[in-house]
Amino acid sequence: MTGTALNATRRAADWAALAADPQVDVLVVGGRGDRRRGRPGRGQPRGLSVALVERHDLAFGTSRWSSKLVHGGLRYLASGQVGVAYESAAERDLLLRRLAPHLAHALPQVVPIFHDTPASAHAIVRTGVALGDVLRMAAGTPAHELPRSRRIPPAEAVRLVPALRRDGLRSAILSWDGQLTDDARLVVAIARTAAGQGVRVLTRCAAEDLTGGGATLRDTRTGDTLALRARAVVNATGVWAAQNAPDVRLRPSRGTHLVLPDTAFGGLRAALTVPVPTERNRYVLALPQVDGRVFVGLTDEQVDGPIPDVPEPTDAERAFLLATVNRALDRDVRPEQVLGAYAGLRPLLDSGTGRTADLSRRHAVIVGASGVITVVGGKLTTYRRMAQDTVDAVLRATALAAGPCRTHRLPLVGAAPRRRLEALPAPRRLVDRYGTEAAAVVALDAAEPVADGMSTTLAEFVFAVRYATGAMTAGDLLDRRTRIGLVPADRAAAEEAAERALKATV
Ligand SMILES: Cc1cc2nc3c(=O)[nH]c(=O)nc-3n(C[C@H](O)[C@H](O)[C@H](O)COP(=O)(O)OP(=O)(O)OC[C@H]3O[C@@H](n4cnc5c(N)ncnc54)[C@H](O)[C@@H]3O)c2cc1C
């Protein structure tokens, strides 16, 4: 674990090393945590020296507010972008089978067909899932990993979605996509894998005054600064990208999810997909999660004005999501059952016209007039491909040289073939979050829950601070290393344990 472990000691050593020798090949700004993985770091044959800086914590931005799906690219097909759709399906295959089988798994999805479902809506869904099967096969994903889609009778649909409206239910379509245990955990695994390749990963380190030749780094804990020279500067700051590269124009859009107890859906065994009435090809999803939660999302609302650090869902979005999902249920999910809500901002490139829902989700790599290279847009699913394209752009724009990309063969921290993961002597819940490191969490011998009725253990907090994942505050533990913070009441209950874990280990 040592090479990949992030913690306060390593951060201090990395800052001191950069202060002593403020020069790297590539500076990456923005800590979703992936873009520097296009090539191995210093110490590897033909490697580049890379520093990744994040002004808050890993996964602080949009990446932790996603729907946590590993998409097969259907959305791109709907707009005729076959190549991009294939790219997404291929990245999904890599995540499921090689890079992160512990964090990515198959998710069954049910689209109910009622007697009053318009024939056109039915046809769109049927065609969509058939094309999804073609994409899956083209990407080489075997049916035992992601089964073929099929039509199912009402009784089977109700078994998978017990709260489904029986009245008028004609049949349903069952298909499969990828799902992440947790998006923030994927980000941390990527950052640690990069650290294992020699990348200096510095959280709470803001980059200011970016140019093609470097930036000022500011340690947001101490206020110390240093002028870092870099042969290439990558602006990977998502929805904040335009603040760091004036030639990038974004039109952010907000997507909101509600957090509900699984009991509100009678025990969901598959995702429920509900078409949005009057919209072509837009859906609200009820997505089953670990720990007895269901997320219902999502919206698509243009956002004007300053970009907040943490976006807030609106009352109108909450009402829209409940009203839409309730169309497909036997009994309504009520507003008082909602345990929490979260919103994220999509960093969409401004193409000048149309609704945000119609803007391309494809990523772009833009070399600005100042020489700063911005990578923006895309999906969490395609993070690796975005990294590869960015490093290729860096090599084209500079005199740097590096070997061929090998991240498609580099499993993330904790990864192992699914069969090996299943045989690990640790609780399934921990294996799905920590993979092969689950045993190290168990060995900490602190299995008591962080608060009554919660499944997160004190050992997970201690592991995050002392050993591996660079947590430095109670917020890091509650909101990103675990997702307890998605339910405000749970967050309040677990705060004391988080503070205790920090004091005991720092
Ligand atoms: C509601 C919603 C649902 C989504 N669902 C899915 C999904 O299910 N599957 C999927 O594949 N994709 C999904 N996406 C898309 C995906 O989440 C985003 O495309 C992706 O997370 C964007 O990552 P990013 O690294 O570009 O930005 P971010 O994750 O926002 O990272 C940027 C980071 O830069 C940091 N930063 C900013 N300025 C500075 C600075 N000056 N110095 C240092 N650091 C700085 C920020 O603090 C932030 O942490 C969804 C998006 C939204 C909004």
Ligand 1 atom closest to Cα of residue 344: 53
Global model pTM greater than 0.85? yes
- For atom 21 of ligand 1, which residue has the closest CA? 63
Measured between alpha carbons, how far is 47 from 5 in angstroms, rounded to an integer? Answer: 20
| pLDDT value, residue 118 | 83
Q: What is the pLDDT of residues 330-384, one digit of tens each?
A: 999 999 999 999 999 999 988 765 666 655 667 899 999 999 999 999 999 999 9
For residue 104, the number of C-alpha atoms closer than 13 Å in the C-beta half-sphere is 30
Ligand 1: list residues with CB < 6 Å. 29-32, 53-56, 60-63, 65-69, 71, 206-207, 236-240, 244, 255, 298, 344-347, 378-381
Answer yes or no: do 260 and 235 share one domain.
no
Asked if 294 and 340 sit in the same domain, the reply is: yes
Are residues 166 and 154 in contact, defined by beta-carbon separation less than 8 angstroms?
yes
Claim to verify: residue 390 and residue 453 sit in the same structural domain: no
The whole-angstrom separation of Cα 455 and Cα 303 is 36
Same domain, 390 and 371: yes
Q: Is residue 376 part of a domain?
A: yes
CA distance 175 to 171: 13
Based on the fold, state whether residues 309 and 244 are members of the same structural domain: no
DSSP string, 106-122: EEEEEEEEETTS-HHHH
Identify the CA nearest to 189 among candidates 37, 344, 358.
Answer: 37
Claim to verify: residue 240 and residue 257 sit in the same structural domain: no
Cβ atoms 345, 62 nearer than 8 A:
yes
Q: Would 402 be classed as within a structural domain?
A: yes
- Tell me the backbone φ, ψ of residue 169, rounded to 5 degrees: -75, 120
Q: What are the pLDDT digits (tens) for 237-277?
A: 999 999 999 889 999 999 999 999 999 999 999 999 998 88
From residue 138, alpha-carbon distances to 93, 95, 420, 466 in Å are: 10, 16, 26, 43
Cis peptide before 298 (omega within 30 of 0): yes
SS3 content of the chain, % helix, strand, coil (to 5): 40, 25, 40
* CA atoms of 176 and 141, how far apart (whole Å): 12
If we measure between CA atoms, which residue out of 406, 397, 382 comes closest to residue 194? 406
Q: How far is the CA of 378 from the centre of ligand 1 (A)?
A: 9
* Residue 180 DSSP code: E
Do the domain assignments include residue 119? no
Catalogue the E-assigned strands of 97-168.
104-114, 150-152
- Closest-CA residue, ligand 1 atom 18, reads 379
Residue 336 within a domain: yes
**What residues of the chain score a pLDDT lower than 70?**
1-2, 32-46, 75, 78, 352-361, 505-506
